[in-house]
């Protein structure tokens, strides 16, 4: 985990800032909003100083390794949404799944909200990385 921290700590100041996190997420094909960056950092930044130091990072990563089964569950859930297997969830797939699990009237507004919340790069599709981040933020 130290190597991962060093990769994220682009300016070698022994902390990960929001701009550094943005660069890492962009390299994964995700264009996070400021709100998403703030939410991710606040989850890891135990002392609230606005950056993640190595201890906070290690504690966070260690806690995540305890949830490997949870990660598999997220992958399985993503596959349920991604009906055509192209690695993205589009609006039609989201509507189809919502209807198949017999939710009450699926309203356009609710689908739009769900897409807005999860589609960080605003390309009209939810990638696995975006889905994964949303699921992790939700729990």
CA distance 41 to 51: 7
Q: Is residue 86 scored above 90 in pLDDT?
A: yes
**Which H helix or E strand runs over 112?**
helix 108-118
Q: Evaluate if residue 28 carries a pLDDT over 80.
A: no
- Quickly count: other Cβ atoms within 10 Å of residue 62's Cβ: 10
Tens digits of residue pLDDT in 38-59 = 888 888 898 999 999 988 888 7
Say whether pLDDT at 103 is over 90.
no
Residue 15 has what pLDDT? 92
Confidence check: pLDDT of 61 > 70: yes
């Amino acid at each position: 985990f130290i190597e991962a921290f060093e990769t994220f700590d682009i300016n070698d100041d022994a902390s990960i800032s929001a701009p550094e996190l943005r660069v890492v997420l962009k390299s994964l094909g995700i264009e996070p909003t400021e709100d998403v960056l703030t939410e991710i950092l606040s989850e890891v930044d135990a002392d609230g100083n606005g950056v993640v130091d190595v201890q906070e990072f290690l504690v966070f990563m260690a806690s995540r390794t305890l949830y490997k089964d949870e990660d598999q569950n997220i992958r399985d859930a993503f596959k349920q949404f991604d009906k055509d297997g192209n690695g993205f969830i589009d609006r039609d797939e989201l509507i189809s799944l919502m209807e198949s699990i017999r939710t009450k009237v699926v309203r356009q507004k609710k689908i739009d909200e769900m897409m807005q919340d999860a589609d960080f790069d605003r390309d009209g599709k939810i990638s696995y990385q975006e889905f994964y981040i949303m699921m992790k933020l939700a729990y």
